[in-house]
Amino acid sequence: MQAVVARRTVHVGLCSNIAGLRGEVEKAFQASRLSAGHELVAEEIGDGCASEVEILLADPGKVVGSLERLPKLRWLQSSWAGVNALAGHGRRDYKCTRLAGCFGPQMSEFVFGAMFDEDWRRLRFYQEREEWAPEPFKKRPRLSDLTLGILGVGDIPSVIAQRAKAFGMRTLGFASRAREVPGFDDVVAELPRVLGEADVVVNVLPSTAETRGLLNNGALKACGTGKLFINVGRGDVVSEDALVEALDEGWLRGAVLDVFATEPLPGTSALWRHPGVRISPHVAAVSYPSDVAQLFVANLELWLDGKPLRYMVDLDKGY
């Protein structure tokens, strides 16, 4: 008679507004090697289990107010890329990992969509006038003649840079130190150089003590004239006043903004009405439940094996 092997129960707390996340976590768990020897019990922390939770999958903004009710917390897997809410909380006695490795393709689509949209807007202008006007478009630069400047060189910027290389663009990255990064022709620590040499500037920097206000105080003057600025990183890297100044002075020809220092963007913001600004409501990349679940279960395997987790966060640094 074959012996029955006891299965180990793994308790996971959930605190997320992502629809369908629990089902995706259960599906990913069943498809993993863990299901052979483990049983998953996933419960919302509001169900009365908060005091016993050691492993938590959560939206940082939703769970931060409940951290004091989680005395046994040992590991928190963020369902977002950003962990600003958790970094701003004083608690540091648990491991934190962020959602990563899945946003690069989405943000690449947003960035290049914003770049191509300039031509489509001009085409729409002539269409509305019922005017056949090929000449202005014969003078537009080819992507292969342009430089894409990317502020930040992490996993998301690297994917954007690699997509840019597929178009033949030169890619120049800004980071705290020069180094080799896949997809980049050069990575430098001189911000004015990146702003000056780039034709399109994309900010993908996180919000940290070092990056907040980085593009304020006339920094964008280094762009020269007529650059396109796309922000898919964090809104507090540049102030509203700095953006308006750069647009009005002609340093920027346009600003495509997905993130803001205050969200939702207040109705009193001048950005809503500025002709050079295009606004999107922080949707350049979203957390799909299947992506969150797959990374969480992959990290859960590492956790149970006692191995280093993927995409660890230093909460003191904020990333």
Model confidence pLDDT, tens digit, residues 144-202:
999 999 999 999 999 999 999 999 999 999 999 999 999 999 999 999 999 999 999 99
Whether 306 shows a pLDDT value over 80: the answer reads yes
By mean pLDDT, which of 4-18, 125-139, 206-220 is the weakest? 4-18
SS3 readout for the chain: CCCCCCCEEEEEEEECCCCCHHHHHHHHHHHCHHHHCEEEEEEEHHHCCHHHCCEEEECHHHHHHHHHHCCCCCEEEECCCCCHHHHCCCCCCCEEECCCCCCHHHHHHHHHHHHHHHHHHHHHHHHHCCCCCCHHHHCCCCHHHCEEEEECCCHHHHHHHHHHHHCCCEEEEECCCCCCCCCCCEEECCHHHHHHHCCEEEECCCCCCCCCCCCCCCHHHHHCCCEEEEECCCHHHCCHHHHHHHHHHCCEEEEEECCCCCCCCCCCCHHHHCCCEEECCCCCCCCCHHHHHHHHHHHHHHHHHCCCCCCECCCCCCC
pLDDT, tens digit, for every residue of 73-86?
A: 999 999 999 999 99
Q: Is pLDDT of 48 > 70? A: no
The pLDDT value given to residue 6: 72
Mean pLDDT of 272-293: 98
The set of residues, in sequence order, having a beta carbon less than 8 Å from that of 189 and lying 6+ positions away, is 174, 175, 176, 177, 178
Confidence (pLDDT) at 1: 46
Q: pLDDT at position 200, please?
A: 98
Statement: the pTM of the whole predicted model exceeds 0.75: yes
In this predicted model, which residue has the larger pLDDT, 277 or 5?
277
Q: Which residues are catalytic?
A: 234, 282
The whole-number pLDDT of residue 5 equals: 55
pLDDT at position 111? 98
Tell me: pLDDT of 304 over 80: yes
Residue 278, pLDDT > 90, answer: yes
Phi, psi dihedrals of residue 67, rounded to the nearest 5° = -60, -35
Mean pLDDT of the chain: 96
pLDDT of residue 47: 59
Confidence of residue 2 (pLDDT cuts 50, 70, 90): low
pLDDT > 70? residue 4: no
Q: What is the pLDDT of residue 50?
A: 85
Question: Can you give the pLDDT at residue 46?
Answer: 78
